Amino acid sequence: MKQIGVFGATGYAGRELLRLLRVHPGARVAFATGSDPALPSHEEGLEREADAYLLALPHGVSARFAARLRQSRPQAPVIDLSGDLRLPDGEAYRQWYGAEHPAPELLGTAPYGLPELFRERLAGARLVSNPGCYATSMLLPLAPLLEQELVDADDVVIDAKSGATGAGRAPKEHLLFCEVSEDLSAYSPGRRHRHVAEVEAVLQARCGRPVPLTFCPHLLPVRRGILAAIYLRSRRPAGELAAALASRYAGEPFVKLVENPPRLVEVAYTNQCRISVHDAAPGRVVVFSALDNLVKGAAGQAIQNLNLALGWPETQGLEEAA
């Protein structure tokens, strides 16, 4: 039984970490830090012993704690759920996050924690950068299709919709019930959302060429879930693309090809990503990708990475959520 330290347990991702760790057969929560007065502060968390650490802290803060934990407990894996370690260099961080990187010495040291794409780098890793929720929903279908050159790399359009937990738990007027209910709002349209940067970086690295994204996220009046509609150019029929994805993910416990567009409720509270492919106008296909933004999009994927880092079976503690 390993002791796990959780930093930032009062936000939505942090609470989900606690929910998942409660049913994990190999892990126990050693401590959980947070803004709640009943909890130790993040600083106090640095004094506590644990076998591994999960960081659900804001970007700009998280990498600083990662750096200190790497120093003080070099043997203990650290999974960072923030965006701090997802971009390749300080310049990209400056451009997309509008600030100097909080711990530039860590840049390039943390593999990108999408096990279905980077499993070999994640086994035994000591620092992992957990992907963004939207990024996961895009990369799982896009990476194989682009790598196998089944779709055009220069014409990728993603229209994504997320439940409001994705916007965090800090009280803001536009997140009040009376503002979100009975509404739908697009934000950061075009190519401005930060997850664009990490997806483009991963795709460029894997495909050897730039893949410029058009990406429009929307805030949904639901609590959890992401549904992304990915519009692609392809000369192949949808069935062929679906078969390629099904074959690529045949052994994967958390990715499933389905026939009809996946619904949010089908993946809610699970670590699954469900994908479907459909023919559209001539030369076009649409791919749907659905996941729970708090599970496969955050805490569940973090547990998956923790399992890999500690050499445990990758699905441990996630079967129920699978």
277-296 mask for a second copy (x: CB under 8 A)? -xxxxx-xxx-x--------
- Residue 218 touching a second copy (CB under 8 A): yes
C-alpha span between 79 and 199 (Å, rounded): 19
Instruction: Give CA 122 to chain center in angstroms.
Output: 15
Nearer to a second copy, 77 or 262 (CB): 262
**Between residue 2 and residue 61, which ones bind a second copy under the rule CB under 8 A?**
12, 23
Smallest gap from Cβ 169 to a second copy, in A, equals: 7
What is the three-class DSSP state of 175? helix
223-262 mask for a second copy (x: CB under 8 A)? xxx-x-x-x------x----------------------x-
150-189 mask for a second copy (x: CB under 8 A)? ------xx-x-x-xxx---x-xxx-xxxxxxxxxxxxx-x
Burial class (CB in 10 A: 0-12, 13-18, 19+), 114: buried
What is the three-class DSSP state of 274? strand
Smallest gap from Cβ 162 to a second copy, in A, equals: 10
Give the residue among 235, 258, 236 at the shortest CA–CA distance from 246.
258
Q: Which two tokens stand for residue 236?
A: 């192949």
C-alpha span between 230 and 36 (Å, rounded): 39
Nearer to a second copy, 147 or 179 (CB): 179
C-alpha span between 41 and 235 (Å, rounded): 55
C-alpha span between 319 and 305 (Å, rounded): 15
Q: Is 216 a catalytic site residue?
A: no
Tell me which residues are annotated as active site: 133
Site residues for a second copy per CB under 8 A: 12, 23, 156-157, 159, 161, 163-165, 169, 171-173, 175-187, 189-191, 212-216, 218, 220-225, 227, 229, 231, 238, 261, 263-265, 268, 278-282, 284-286, 288, 320
